[in-house]
């Protein structure tokens, strides 16, 4: 849809307001660096944790991880997982300690690696329940060896460079006392911590390890966080259980500060209070990388809320990230000196009747009326926004933003903007090129009054030397459009078992609305379509690209996953593609052979590196698949090598 037509249609649907959102951006006004510190998710298998493999290795989770890995442009890179050591089993106890069977953990790590993801590996769980007391010296040494064996095993399998991208963390939220059958006193926790640290060092001294990943009691409700406080004191003044040395390493400090009352800013406020308290007691820890690896707007992943289903959740994620960038990371003297990682704990599998409304990236449908039963997913707006955020560049521009009549727009407001520039990293034989991104959002807190404003964007462009052509792509996420949940409820009566036609309709609403226009290669204000309104919730991303010398590189690592009869999930990798100026992927199928002829089967423009082909017959999906990337100038890159798909039985 042409941008002018889209904006006019949007205005006709709305009542005009007196508020005006004024934004001025100059493409040359670079103020600092921007790192994508938010590219993380996580999940926890349900109790009993001894059966974690049933969840972690299920075909539902295999699909879930495939989709997470398919967020475009590495929009999600790390997955934080509880209870991973429940995937390890003890076969016997030898003279030197337990003999472990890593088969289930091997399978899970293979899934993570296959989908080009990395682990935030919480060193928690109890293999076959063999550990009972972390004040028992024998068991403390056993634990050190378990950690060392685990790290060394995956260094051997996948290479040290891959495992160095992981982040190892302590047992989750120790002050919540969820240790299952393992006795973990405060002293036992410190022994356990030293065993983790020394075990990782035995495998590779550069592996990153921190904690405590605490979310219970720390400066909240007047309760003491005994485990967290003891750990901080131990790293500064304690004695290493194994070496006898004073002080123990901690590579990062992790806490869990979630939204209080559903307000985005409360996350940042609570983080600052907690870090101030730590720095006051332990100034030696000031400047350690800080992680909030459960920074969700509201506690309780399985609580059902409508706002978690639609663009409200996606917009809140953007606002939380923007607040952290502008109020912390972009400041010369930030209140948290080294804010390094923010994670949304939303990698769970939703369940009936809350397919859309739990804290997940995807809506899971359990199709139990068919033979055989099967599971399929629909992408939610919060999934798509992770790909939109990935379009931000590495250098942040100054943004002047205000509202009229005379309303101040601050970093705590519901409206906001981030603008960045990307300079090409590879200039020879590459599709990389100069890019500028403008991300605008309207994001009300939960249960807040919803407003909207007319956008007045003045975008002054100074093209860099050598640019021959410019294209501007618009992405729009708003509840009136890119919202499968509304259609599922309003048109299909929240059916538990959508038909193929209904699924096709829902999938047409998964991606942001998009359009592409030409921009003159001259210094001056970009001529944008007529003013339009920014609703709450609403996310608008504008991605300006200079024409690369080359079309996109070849798509690689194509694979096909059988969903059920007549349905296949095609997944591929964009890791070989250097440009983010992608209009779409073409997914093609040949029923005859690897030489063709091929027919395009994906009707929608999408840059997600996964496509589900849903038909009513096995004969329609068997054949050879190939995929190529197409850029803003409609130039197609090389096709992937064709991959044959035959009917598989799981």
- List active site positions: 173
What is the distance between the alpha carbons of residues 41 and 53, in angstroms, rounded to a whole number?
19
Residue 110's H or E segment, with its range, is: helix 103-114
Residue keyed to tokens 């550990």: 131
Tally Cβ neighbours within 10 Å of residue 499: 10
| Tokens coding 513 | 């609305």
Q: Which residues of 2-19 are buried (b: 16+ CB within 10 A; e: fewer)?
A: ebeebbeebeeeeeeeee
For residue 113, the SS3 value is: helix
What is the distance between the alpha carbons of residues 424 and 432, in angstroms, rounded to a whole number?
5
Residue ranges of E strands in 129-265? 167-169, 209-214, 253-255
What is the distance between the alpha carbons of residues 415 and 23, in angstroms, rounded to a whole number?
11
Mention every residue, 6+ apart, whose C-beta is less than 8 A from residue 255. Answer: 212, 213, 214, 215, 218, 228, 271, 274, 290, 291, 292
Q: Which of 408, 351, 393 is closest to 375 using CA atoms?
A: 351
What is the distance between the alpha carbons of residues 232 and 476, in angstroms, rounded to a whole number?
45
Bridge partner residues of 360 (DSSP): 347
| Structure letter (DSSP) for residue 361 | S
Tally Cβ neighbours within 10 Å of residue 604: 14
Q: Which of 470, 440, 643, 639 is closest to 555 using CA atoms?
A: 639
């Amino acid at each position: 849809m042409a941008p002018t037509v889209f904006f006019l249609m949007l205005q006709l649907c709305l009542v005009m307001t007196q508020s005006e959102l004024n934004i001025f951006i100059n493409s040359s006004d670079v103020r600092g660096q921007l790192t994508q510190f938010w590219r993380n998710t996580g999940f926890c298998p349900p109790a009993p944790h001894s059966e974690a493999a049933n969840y972690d290795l299920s075909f539902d989770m295999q699909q879930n991880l495939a989709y997470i890995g398919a967020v475009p442009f590495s929009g999600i890179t790390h997955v934080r997982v509880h209870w991973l050591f429940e995937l390890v089993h003890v076969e016997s106890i030898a003279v030197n300690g337990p003999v472990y069977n890593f088969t289930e953990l091997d399978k899970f790590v293979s899934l993570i690696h296959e989908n080009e993801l990395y682990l935030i590996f919480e060193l928690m769980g109890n293999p076959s329940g063999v550990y009972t007391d972390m004040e028992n010296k024998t068991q403390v040494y056993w634990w050190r060896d378990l950690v060392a064996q685990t790290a060394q095993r995956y260094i051997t399998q996948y290479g040290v460079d891959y495992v160095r991208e992981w982040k190892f963390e302590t047992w989750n939220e120790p002050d919540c006392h969820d240790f299952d059958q393992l006795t973990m006193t405060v002293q036992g926790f410190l022994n356990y911590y030293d065993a983790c640290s020394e075990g990782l060092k035995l495998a590779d001294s550069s592996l990153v390890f921190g904690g405590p990943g605490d979310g219970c009691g720390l400066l909240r409700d007047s309760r003491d966080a005994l485990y967290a406080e003891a750990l901080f004191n131990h790293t500064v003044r304690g004695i290493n259980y194994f070496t006898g040395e004073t002080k123990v390493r901690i590579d990062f400090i992790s806490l869990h500060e979630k939204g209080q009352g559903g307000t985005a800013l409360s996350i940042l406020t609570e983080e600052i209070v907690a870090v101030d308290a730590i720095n006051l007691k332990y100034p030696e820890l000031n400047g350690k990388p800080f992680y909030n690896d459960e920074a969700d707007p509201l506690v309780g992943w399985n609580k059902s809320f409508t706002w978690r289903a639609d663009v409200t959740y996606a917009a809140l994620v953007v606002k939380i990230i923007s607040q952290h960038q502008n109020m912390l990371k972009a400041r010369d003297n930030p209140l948290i000196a080294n804010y390094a990682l923010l994670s949304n704990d939303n990698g769970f599998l939703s369940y009936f009747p809350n397919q859309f409304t739990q804290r997940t990236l995807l809506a899971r449908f359990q199709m139990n009326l068919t033979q055989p039963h099967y599971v399929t997913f629909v992408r939610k707006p919060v999934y798509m926004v992770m790909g939109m955020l990935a379009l931000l560049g590495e250098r942040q521009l100054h943004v002047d933003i205000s509202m009229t009549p005379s309303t101040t727009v601050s970093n705590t407001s519901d409206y906001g903007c981030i603008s960045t520039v990307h300079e090409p990293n590879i200039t020879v034989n590459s599709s990389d090129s100069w890019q500028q991104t403008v991300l605008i959002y309207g994001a009300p807190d939960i249960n807040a009054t919803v407003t909207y404003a007319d956008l007045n964007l003045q975008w002054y462009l100074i093209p860099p030397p050598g640019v021959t052509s410019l294209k501007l792509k618009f992405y729009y996420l708003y509840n009136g459009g890119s919202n499968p949940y509304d259609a599922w409820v309003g048109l299909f009566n929240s059916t538990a078992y959508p038909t193929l036609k209904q699924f096709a309709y829902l999938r047409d609403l998964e991606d942001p609305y998009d359009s592409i226009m030409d921009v003159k290669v001259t210094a001056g204000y970009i001529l944008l379509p007529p003013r339009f309104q920014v609703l709450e919730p609403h996310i608008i991303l504008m991605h300006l690209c200079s024409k690369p010398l080359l079309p996109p590189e070849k798509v690689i690592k194509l694979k096909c996953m059988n969903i059920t009869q007549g349905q296949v999930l095609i997944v591929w990798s964009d890791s070989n593609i250097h440009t983010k100026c992608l209009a779409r992927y073409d997914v093609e199928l040949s029923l005859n052979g690897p030489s063709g002829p091929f027919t395009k089967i994906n009707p929608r423009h999408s840059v997600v590196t996964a496509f589900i082909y849903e038909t009513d017959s096995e004969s329609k999906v068997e054949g050879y698949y190939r995929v190529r990337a197409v850029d803003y100038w409609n130039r197609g890159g090389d096709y992937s090598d064709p991959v044959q798909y035959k009917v598989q039985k799981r």
